Amino acid sequence: MENAVLNVKNRQGKGKSAARKLRQQGLVPAILYGKNQEPLPLQTDYRDFVKLVHKRGENAIVNLSIDSGSGAPASETVLIKAIQYDTMKDRIYNIDFQKVNLTEKIVIHVPIRLLGEEDSPGIKDGGTLEHIVRELEIECLPGDIPHEYDIDISSLQLGEAIHVNQLPPLKNITVLNDAEQVVVMVKMETQKEAEEQAEGESVGEPEVVKKEKSEKESKEESKEESKE
């Protein structure tokens, strides 16, 4: 599959005020980072970037076509390093791009996708699914980065777990997480009940308060007896 292409322009204005004006125009501020070079402020069309992410994912290799305002656009091969969101408006706030060399391995995190949850015998028997590790740290060439790391859990029984060293291998990819780390498990009902019971006890009334209450009640009873 060919790399995605995104048109960007050099960003002239700096500061929060300039960035706010860009967002009001349907643009999003961005920065390009690279080895031995100063960060380059950029801007791109908000809708174009959203379409790219929806189609290729956040780990896609992107060919930036950079319009500097003079001469032919420059081209850079990059990864999306980070996407910052405005949580109040649920919109992309800023983008960081990282220049990459397609012949050099990089370390990156990829999301885990669980498959077959509805078929898991353990879940059918009332177990609780615990998805502990939601992304893996991997090392590979930029062109080998997977969109997601799929894990089949359709055969998981009650009390069973899948560790990092049990994951299906992917070609040309090295997983860097601890081999013994639990990725996903189906907890047995007895474990769940024990945790709920412990949680209930922790939020109960402290014993000291109960004792003070008892002493107060005793004094009131003594007063009533003396009146009689």
Fold entry, domain 4-99: Ribosomal Protein L25; Chain P (2.40.240)
- Spatial CA neighbour of 7 closest among 62, 66, 71: 66
Q: What's the CATH number for 106-197? A: 2.170.120.20
Rounded to whole angstroms, the Cα distance separating 225 from 42 reads 85
Instruction: Read off φ and ψ for residue 117, nearest 5 degrees.
Output: -60, -40
Q: Which residue has the tokens 């059918």?
A: 124
Domain residue ranges in the chain = 4-99, 106-197
Structure confidence at residue 202 (pLDDT): 59
Q: d(Cα 5, Cα 15) in Å, to the nearest integer?
A: 27
What are 166-182's pLDDT values in tens digits? Answer: 999 999 999 999 999 99
Q: What is the dihedral of CA 120, 121, 124, 126, to 10 degrees?
A: -110
Q: Are 95 and 22 in contact (CB under 8 A)?
A: no
Model pTM above 0.85: no
Which pairing describes strands 106-115 and 91-99: parallel, antiparallel, or unpaired? unpaired
SS3 152: strand
* 153: alpha, beta or left? (left if phi > 0; alpha if psi -120 to 50): alpha
Token pair listed for 17: 């005020």
100 within 8 A of 106, measured Cβ to Cβ? yes
Q: Write out residues in the chain with pLDDT < 70, as ranges.
A: 1, 189-198, 200-228
Identify the pLDDT of residue 208: 45
Helix (DSSP H) and strand (DSSP E) numbers for the chain: 5, 13
DSSP 65-124: EEE-SSSSPEEEEEEEEEEEEETTTTEEEEEEEEE--TTS-EEEEEEEEEE-GGG-HHHH
The identity of residue 100, as a single letter, is V
Residue located via tokens 């998805």 = 131
For residue 13, the model assigns a pLDDT of 80
